[in-house]
Amino acid sequence: MTEGPIELDSHRGMAALKATEDRRHTAAVEADQAQVSQHLEEMTDALSASPAATWDEAAKKMLHLLTLFAGTVEARDHRHQKLIASAREDIERLSSQDSAPLPG
């Protein structure tokens, strides 16, 4: 009576195997999306916890905002994509040059 586990996939037709594979893939994608969403929320909370003390910290906040905007419908416009890429390059280039404290 003690037999090994039954491999159900070997008893299914091609359509059923494809449907099972699609469900597994969809579940994995949804889990990944939930993890990314949670990470973005945690990052937003951490970055908004206190004011930036240096230009580098301010740049990190701006890059995060650009990342959030890049995921919106409005960002699909080619001009917006070009502006986002240009702004990221500018922020990264300028923040690597100067990490002095913000005036104030």
What's the 3-state SS for 6-70?
CCHHHHCCHHHHHHHHHHHHHHHHHHHHHHHHHHHHHHHHHHCCCCCCEHHHHHHHHHHHHHHHH
Per-residue confidence band for 101, with pLDDT thresholds at 50, 70 and 90: low
Joined tokens for residue 82: 């070009």
pTM above 0.85, yes or no: no
Tokens 């969809």 label which residue?
Answer: 26
pLDDT tens digits, 10-42: 777 888 888 889 999 999 999 999 999 999 899
